[in-house]
């Protein structure tokens, strides 16, 4: 957000800025979503709704997760919230008492750290450096769970790395989870429909069905349907956990709004051409980013297979100076500031995600901006001394 603010300020000053910084889709939902919202507005009851979510929305979500291999769940197993962020926050409040440990891999999505801090949990970071493709290994997980953290929080596909775990990798991690029955597992899979190269999306419950009474699956409409501002998130998991989220809703928000609910049902049950088309577009953009980065000597970048992020290790630039501006690059923050100042390209320093050797490139920008932005990054590297 800080990078985005600075980019906005420079733009207002008349600079030509290309933003690779914000993780929001640059497309709108299909017309049927707006039509459903307008219809709901016309018949809006203006009354409170269900704390869990409207039955039709719960059913639409259940049908969606059924297609992901999460079968046998009923309305009692699911709950909605004001975006996945709110659902994760509710879960943190519900599952973690002060001093309880939450373990999650680094790089992590920034809000995990903040949410854990807000609920006064102890945080155990599991480092997944670029050398291991930013992925958690079964041995690492096994070692981390030996000390019985209350919650293990997982994210697949990943923000910020875009990495996607294969079926075999998920199965191997699921085997470890089975051996550690004292830990709740939250799996934030909101990018599950944005997976490339035919690797497919896989989850722990699909791999080992006995995990269903401990695994909490998180989903959202924000990224897939171009609906971040509509604020619709979901969870599916054990009945008592879903009930805890419903109780939290009852005391915080009461319900997600009726108009939003109608739009969400239309998104989930209507034509899926927007997300499918966007997924293909993102895969092509991923290829374009990777091809450009491959031409920069010294950059290491595991190949992402999902979401819309690339997370290159740029540490080869640290200790150097950007010759034309004289800006010294000691770390990722210096690097991103100098790149923005010198070339007008906004990326997010990796330290925001717990990996100071990298920076995040989000490629949701208009396609026409991608090539010039990448070229400026290449030029910037070429100008380092």
With beta carbons less than 8 A apart as the criterion, state whether 306 and 191 touch. yes
| Distance between start and end Cα atoms, the chain | 30
Which distant-in-sequence residues (6+ apart) come within 8 Å of 71 by Cβ? none
Q: CB of residue 220 vs ligand PLP: minimum separation in angstroms?
A: 3
- In the block, tokens 């719960």 appear at 58
Residues sharing a CB contact under 8 Å with residue 277, sequence separation 6 or more, in sequence order: none
- Which residue, 190 or 338, has its beta carbon nearer to ligand PLP? 190
Asked if 222 is part of the footprint of ligand PLP (rule: CB under 6 A), the reply reads yes
Size of the site for ligand PLP (CB under 6 A): 13
Nearer to ligand PLP among residue 22 and residue 178 (C-beta) = 22
Nearest approach, Cβ of 188 to ligand PLP (angstroms)? 5
Name which of 237 and 344 has its Cβ closer to ligand PLP.
237
Can you say whether the dihedral through the CA atoms of 252, 124, 20, 28 is positive or negative?
A: negative
Give least dist CB 159 to ligand PLP, A.
Answer: 3
DSSP at 358? B
For position 64 contacting ligand PLP by CB under 6 A, the verdict is: no
Work out which of 49, 228, 238, 356 binds ligand PLP, going by CB under 6 A.
228
CA nearest neighbour of 60 among 80, 84, 40: 80
To ligand PLP, the closest distance from the beta carbon of 239 in angstroms equals 23
Interface with ligand PLP in residues 109-128 (CB under 6 A): 109
Nearer to ligand PLP, 85 or 208 (CB): 85
Selected from 19, 20, 23, 224, the binder of ligand PLP by CB under 6 A is: 23
CB of 159 or CB of 203, closer to ligand PLP: 159
Task: Please state, in angstroms and rounded to a whole number, the distance separating the CA atoms of residues 353 and 144.
Answer: 20
Can you give the three-state secondary structure of 245-314, one letter per residue? HHHHHHHHCCCCCHHHHHHHHHHHHCCCHHHHHHHHHHHHHHHHHHHHHHCCCCCECCCCCECCEECCEC
> Please, how many CA atoms are within 13 Å of residue 143, restricted to the half-sphere of its CB?
9
Query: Of 65, 59, 109, whose CA–CA distance to 89 is shortest?
Result: 109
22 neighbors 15 (Cβ within 8 angstroms) = no
Which C-beta is closer to ligand PLP: that of 163 or that of 329? 163
**How many CA atoms are closer than 13 Å to the CA of 204, on its beta-carbon side?**
29
Candidates 190, 274, 317, 336; binder of ligand PLP (CB under 6 A) is 190
Q: Minimum distance between the CB of residue 84 and ligand PLP, rounded to whole angstroms?
A: 3
Site string for ligand PLP, 65-104 (x = CB under 6 A): ------------------xxx-------------------
CB 307, min distance to ligand PLP, A:
8
Instruction: Pick one of 233, 237, 304, 312: the residue that binds ligand PLP (CB under 6 A).
Output: 233
C-beta atoms surrounding 280 within 10 Å: 11
Q: Which is nearer to ligand PLP, 94 or 296 (CB)?
A: 94
Residue 260 in contact with ligand PLP, rule: CB under 6 A? no
Output the residue with the shortest Cβ distance to ligand PLP. Answer: 83
Q: How far apart are CA 222 and CA 204, in angstroms?
A: 23
Binding of residue 188 to ligand PLP (CB under 6 A): yes
CB of 264 to ligand PLP, least distance (A): 11
Q: Which of residues 132-171 bind ligand PLP (CB under 6 A)?
A: 155, 159
Cα–Cα distance, 98 to 118 (Å, whole number): 10
Decide if residue 129 touches ligand PLP (CB under 6 A): no
Dmax (CA) of the chain: 65
Smallest distance, ligand PLP to C-beta of residue 28, A: 15
Residues that bind ligand PLP (CB under 6 A): 23, 83-85, 109, 155, 159, 188, 190, 220, 222, 228, 233
């Amino acid at each position: 957000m800080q990078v985005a603010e600075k980019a906005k300020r420079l733009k207002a000053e008349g600079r030509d800025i290309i933003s690779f910084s914000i993780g929001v889709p640059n497309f709108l939902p299909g017309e049927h979503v707006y039509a459903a919202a307008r219809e709901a507005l016309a018949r809006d009851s203006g009354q409170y709704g269900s704390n869990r979510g409207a039955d039709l929305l719960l059913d639409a979500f259940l049908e969606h997760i059924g297609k992901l291999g999460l079968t046998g769940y009923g309305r009692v197993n699911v709950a909605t919230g004001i975006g996945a962020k709110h659902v994760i926050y509710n879960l943190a409040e519900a599952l973690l008492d002060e001093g309880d440990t939450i373990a999650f891999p680094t790089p992590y999505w920034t809000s995990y750290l903040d949410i854990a801090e807000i609920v006064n949990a102890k945080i155990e970071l599991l480092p997944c450096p670029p050398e291991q493709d930013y992925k958690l290994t079964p041995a690492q997980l096994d070692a981390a769970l030996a000390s019985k953290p209350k919650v293990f929080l997982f994210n697949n596909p990943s923000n910020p790395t875009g990495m996607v775990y294969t079926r075999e990798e998920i199965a191997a991690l699921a085997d470890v989870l089975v051996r550690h029955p004292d830990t709740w597992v939250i799996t934030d899979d909101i990018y599950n429909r944005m997976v490339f190269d035919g690797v497919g999306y896989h989850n722990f419950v699909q791999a080992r069905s006995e995990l269903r009474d401990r695994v909490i699956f998180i989903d959202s409409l924000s990224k897939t349907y171009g609906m971040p501002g509509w604020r619709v998130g979901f969870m599916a998991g054990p009945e008592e956990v879903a009930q805890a989220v419903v109780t939290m809703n009852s005391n915080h928000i009461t319900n997600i709004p009726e108009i939003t609910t109608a739009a969400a049902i239309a998104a989930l049950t209507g034509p899926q051409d927007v997300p499918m088309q966007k997924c293909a577009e993102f895969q092509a953009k991923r290829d374009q980013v990777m091809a450009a980065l491959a031409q920069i000597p010294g950059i290491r970048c595991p190949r992402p297979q999902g979401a819309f992020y690339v997370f290159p290790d740029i540490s080869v630039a640290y200790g150097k100076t950007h010759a034309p501006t004289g800006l010294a690059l000691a770390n990722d923050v210096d690097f991103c500031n100098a790149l923005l100042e010198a070339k007008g390209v906004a990326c997010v320093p990796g330290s925001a995600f717990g990996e100071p050797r990298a920076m995040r490139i989000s490629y949701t920008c208009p396609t026409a901006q991608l090539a010039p932005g990448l070229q400026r990054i290449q030029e910037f590297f070429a100008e380092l001394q």
